[in-house]
Amino acid sequence: MAHQLSELYIDGELMTDDAGAPLWTMAYADGGAEPWHRKGQVIPAGSDLAYWAQWAGLDYRVECRPNCRADGSPIPASFHIAREDNGAILGAFVAGQYQPFQNADAMALVEKICERYGFRIDTAGALFEGAKAWVQIKTDVEAELPGGDAISNSIVVAPYHTGRNATRIISTQTRVVCDNTLSYAIAKADASDDADAAAKYHHRVLFDDDAIVEAVGQNEVSFREFSDVAAKMAERILTDAERLDYFQDVLGGAIKTDDSGVVTRSVAVRRAMAFATGRDFVAEGKTAVDVVRVVDEAIDRARRGAASDAPIVADDIVDDAVVINPGHDLASAKGTLFGALNTVTWMVDHAPTKDRGLEHKMSSNIFGDGTGAKIKSRAMTRGVELLAA
């Protein structure tokens, strides 16, 4: 199973390419970039929703079936979720009030949004044998930032058939092509302060698709507001001292001064200063101790207002195999407030100061108990304050 995609069957027949290799339950629009995992069918422009559903592996329905005792008698108000076409069990237990949200419901919602707001399908697929699914739609409306960098808005409708998860409708700039990208897009939307970035359907009441369609209209307004702020941030050049103060305000940590007057910032701030230039940072006591000295000297220059074009970390201690803060060198990010904001969000999502594993990072970003979501919120708030200063 590649990236939680499954082999594609249509009417019970395994679909293969010209070389006999199996096709997978993922499809993307003609003209779009090939997914990083190099799997999925290209869907011609103008194809209808039924064609998308068939070739993305979404052409199935689910139903609630009774759970039974050992003697075969049904357990009251106890059901499991199964695919109607092949009987695969997708969710082991749901109560009697559970209402499946079918892939066809997701497609119907997508059709309404596309007709009203001019979106089009970009990617779609099924995961874990159909327990999770998604349809991503995007608009041609983009905001161009200085240097040609562009941000665009897209919406993902993700039906869950597990019985444990809510169906999600989110706004995201992440292109969804597998389980990892879907999980990342959802975590980032949940961590956002924007109330229009995420919606949930918990399968207990009738789904109100008209309310979702109206919310998409509000999302379009929110995206335009964000793109306006992003453009202004991309034009706001930060001095070394301003960047240092920004990271200090957002990430915090004690500022220590030794007997000789040398000021030392927290590890989080020092790491952010390094990440902003696409360089890694190794804390004192680990390997490559010179990193600490080089970063601290650069920070001390920034604190004193001294200009410096020197790299935060020496080239000879950078591991080129490790991608640090991708996009830091784009014209919209290099030396700008927008770059500092994105450094913080990348750090929170991918390189937290105290890394307790993927599950902790995701829960931190979603529920934000003093870390993930709150750090991102402070980063945006402080950025807006800098623009107004």
Cα angle, residue 333 at apex, residues 264 and 317 outer, rounded to 5°: 50
Lowest mean pLDDT segment, chosen from 293-297, 333-337, 357-361, 372-376: 357-361
Cβ neighbours for 260, distance < 8 A, ≥ 6 positions apart: none
pTM of the model: 0.62
The arrangement of strands across the sheet holding 89-94 comes to 62-68, 74-83, 89-94
- The alpha carbon of residue 342 and the mean position of all alpha carbons in its chain are separated, in whole angstroms, by 13
Beta bridge partners of 82: 63, 89
CA angle 50, 51, 52 (to 5 degrees): 90
Per-residue pLDDT tens over the stretch 145-197: 777 676 777 889 999 999 988 898 888 878 899 988 888 788 777 766 554 55
Q: What tokens were used for 80?
A: 């499991």
Q: Which of the two residues, 320 and 123, has the higher pLDDT score?
A: 123
- What pLDDT, in 10s, does the model give residues 10-62? 999 999 999 999 999 999 999 988 898 889 999 999 999 999 999 999 999 99
* R_g (Cα) of the chain, nearest Å: 24
pLDDT tens digits for 52-86? 999 999 999 999 999 999 998 999 989 999 999 99
